[in-house]
Amino acid sequence: MRAYAPGSVTSMFAPAEDGSHGVSFATADGVVADVRRATSTTVTLDGDPTSFEPVELACEALDVDARVGLTAEVPVGRGFGASGAATLATVLAADAEWDLGHEREELVEVAARADIEAGTGLGDVYVQESGGLLWNVGEGRQRRERTDELSYISYGDVATAEVLADDAALQRAATAADEAFPRFDPDASLAELFDLSWEFARETDLVTDRVREAVERVQDADGAATMAMVGETVVASAPDALDRRTRITPDGARLLD
């Protein structure tokens, strides 16, 4: 069986007792998982064998041995929630392949726990399950169905696990979120959301020189851009501002077969 899950970009986040709070949106470009029965679990990414811990943990939680072939339309390890998308697509396909009969909510929780346990995400799976703009700024998870076009450029990997293990970095994010979250408006334009997110990003001290330079180039052209959390990736509100185009998708993860 095959399943697809959209990518996701988190523009602001803060650690919380239940994982994290923040603002994220799903991207039309995502990850496809082709799941087949096997004698032991193996994973390939774009045809190459790889160790993909959250996918392996999710298969273990479902008590299945699978050959998982992942095809990524988004950069992996660069702030597009690829690990969460891969894991969510895998559990949806595995449930169908083995006819396990789990409710969708159960499968989402399996994927989310695996992503968190692996240290590769804090909540990407939830926006990938629902699509659209998703946020929790302390008052529970909420959603808007949006389809804004945008563009992005990605330079390199940022180890999410290292950021999540850095208490100082998490404290800076929490402090920045205290300033940004009360000003968040889900009905604002994408440019306004990115301007607010860029203020947040600068306060986290996670911004690299290449990210700063790219954002400033967009701003010099009267655009708005910000950093994807957590990756050396810049997203811009204009579809022609940066190298690659995508859009916010209102559609969540789904089976393809």
Work out the burial of residue 17: count CB atoms within 10 Å of its CB; fewer than 13 is exposed, 13-18 middle, 19 or more buried. Answer: exposed
pTM, to two decimals = 0.92
Band (pLDDT 50/70/90 cuts) for residue 138 is: confident
- The helix/strand/coil state of 80 is coil
The predicted-structure confidence for 14-32, as pLDDT tens digits, reads as follows 987 766 899 999 999 999 9
Q: Are 37 and 21 in contact (CB under 8 A)?
A: no
Q: Are 66 and 37 in contact (CB under 8 A)?
A: yes
Counting every residue written for the chain, the total comes to 257
Given this model, what pLDDT does residue 162 score? 72
Given this model, what pLDDT does residue 119 score? 84
Question: How large is the average pLDDT for residues 135-155?
Answer: 94
The predicted-structure confidence for 149-204, as pLDDT tens digits, reads as follows 999 999 977 666 677 678 888 899 999 999 999 999 999 999 999 999 999 999 99
Measure the CA–CA gap between 249 and 148, rounded to whole angstroms: 8
Sheet bearing 149-156, strands edge to edge: 225-227, 232-236, 149-156, 244-247
Cα 146 off chain centre by = 16
HSE (side-chain half, CA atoms, 13 Å) at 254: 9
Domains, the chain, ranges and CATH? 1-257 (3.30.230.10)
Percent of the chain topping pLDDT 90: 82
- The helix/strand/coil state of 183 is helix
HSE (side-chain half, CA atoms, 13 Å) at 218: 28
Cis status of the peptide bond prior to 125, with omega within 30 of 0: no
Residue that has been written with the tokens 């969540």 in this structure: 252
